[in-house]
Amino acid sequence: MPSNRRHFLKQLGGLAAGFGAASTGLSFITASNDIQTNANALGNNDAAAPLFFTISLAQWSLHRKLFAKEMDNLDFPAVSKNTYGISVVEYVNTFFKDKAKDEKYLAKLLNRCKDNGVKNHLIMCDGEGDLGDLDVTKRTQAVENHYKWVDAAKFLGCTSIRVNAYGAGGSEEVQKSAIDGLSKLGEYAAKTGINVIVENHGSFTSNGEWLAKVMKTVNRKNVGTLPDFGNFCIKREDGQLWGTKCIEEYDRYKGVAEMMPYAKGVSAKTHDFDEQGNCIETDYERMLKVVRAAGFKGYVGIEYEGDKLSEEEGIKKTKALLERVGASIK
């Protein structure tokens, strides 16, 4: 997920936690909670050749427009479908952070999806506390802060919420705390059929081996990973999560391979492209072969995060790259 999102969100505190499960009475909520099914049943790619995955669009790809108020969260489904031909979307809670328990707003958003033939996949959750906090009181609060997003995801027909497994301390200490936090949140989410998935998103979470051990120990069917093709910096100058120079990076291909057995979605990160339309920082043929080898047939979400191209150009180039390379991998 976005390499600079933490910078935007560091002032966001935990919002009021826990409310009763949201109403699911709307008859058109029919989304499956198991994305490891045939990709053809999940949505449509406007590609010339069939892919082994289904393309979705991560809302962070449009974060500049959203922060500038040039686009509203309610517009996202229509923009995804009508501008990019993508019918599966991934939200970021930052852009409707005060609406998690607002059923009227969520119903309006769901109607926008229905009107445009768009399916909701997940909500990326930031600013709700650290699920790997060593302080049990703060960790419990972080778990409970996510309840409302689990309920909102259920209301919207999503399969998952993406969370962070941060914590300040040693590797083993944070790992133990993250296992506890994810286990408790996973238990709550299981009641609604929602997955809790962790992205490689900085610090220990960008160490594929570390995160795979967390998943193996949690050992819950609805707790998994969201491998991101980028975000493998495990140590930055001044100990920051984002914004400063990376001084230690985990091998991205090894990391994705380690996370894929637990993957319930994949994030296709791009920044820059060469003249042939290839991603400069990631070998997409090599990476998609890693994804394919794991037997994955779910959603691969476009997350363009570059600044040399416009958001629109970057999204379209990433989509074209996924379609071209994805169609060549059997």
User: Is 128 domain-assigned?
Assistant: yes
pLDDT confidence band for 25 (50 / 70 / 90): very low
Q: What is the mean pLDDT of residues 223-239?
A: 92
How many domains in the chain?
A: 1
Query: What is each CA distance from 65 to 3, 62, 73, 261, 304, in whole angstroms?
Result: 17, 6, 10, 35, 13
**225, part of any domain:** yes
**Contact (CB, 8 A) for 146 and 128:** yes
**Whole-structure pTM value:** 0.86
* Predicted local distance difference test score (pLDDT) of residue 247: 85
Residue 37 domain-assigned (yes or no):
no
Q: What is the CA radius of gyration of the chain?
A: 18
Query: In the prediction, which pLDDT does 13 show?
Result: 39
Per-residue pLDDT tens over the stretch 182-220:
999 999 999 999 999 999 998 999 999 999 999 999 999
Whether 88 maps to a domain, the answer reads yes
What average pLDDT does the chain have?
88
Q: Considering the domain boundaries, does residue 35 fall inside one?
A: no
Do the domain assignments include residue 80?
yes
Per the domain annotation, does 76 fall within a domain?
Answer: yes
Q: Kindly report, residue by residue over 29-82, the tens digit of the pLDDT.
A: 333 334 333 443 444 444 457 999 999 999 999 999 999 999 999 999 999 999
The whole-number pLDDT of residue 242 equals 66
**What residues make up the domain containing 191?**
5-12+42-328
3-class secondary-structure state, position 104: helix
CB burial of 41-59 (b: ≥16 within 10 Å; e: otherwise) equals ebbebebeeebbbbbbbbb
Residues 235-280 pLDDT 10s: 988 777 767 888 899 999 999 999 999 999 999 999 999 999 999 9
- Write down the pLDDT at residue 241: 76
Residue 213 lies in a domain: yes
Q: What is the pLDDT of residues 78-114, one digit of tens each?
A: 999 999 999 999 999 999 999 999 999 999 999 999 9
- Which of 180, 139, 182, 140 lies closest to 161 in space, CA to CA? 182
Task: Look at residue 14 in the predicted model and tell me its pLDDT.
Answer: 38
Output the DSSP codes for 224-292: EEE-BSS--EEEEGGG-SSSSPEEEE--HHHHHHHHGGGBS-EEEEE--B-TTS-BSSS-HHHHHHHHH
pLDDT at 254: 98
Q: Each residue of 149-173: pLDDT tens digit?
A: 999 999 999 999 999 999 999 999 9
- Which CATH number fits the domain that encloses residue 312? 3.20.20.150
pLDDT in tens, 129-154: 999 999 999 999 999 999 999 999 99
Band of pLDDT at residue 321, cut at 50, 70 and 90 = very high
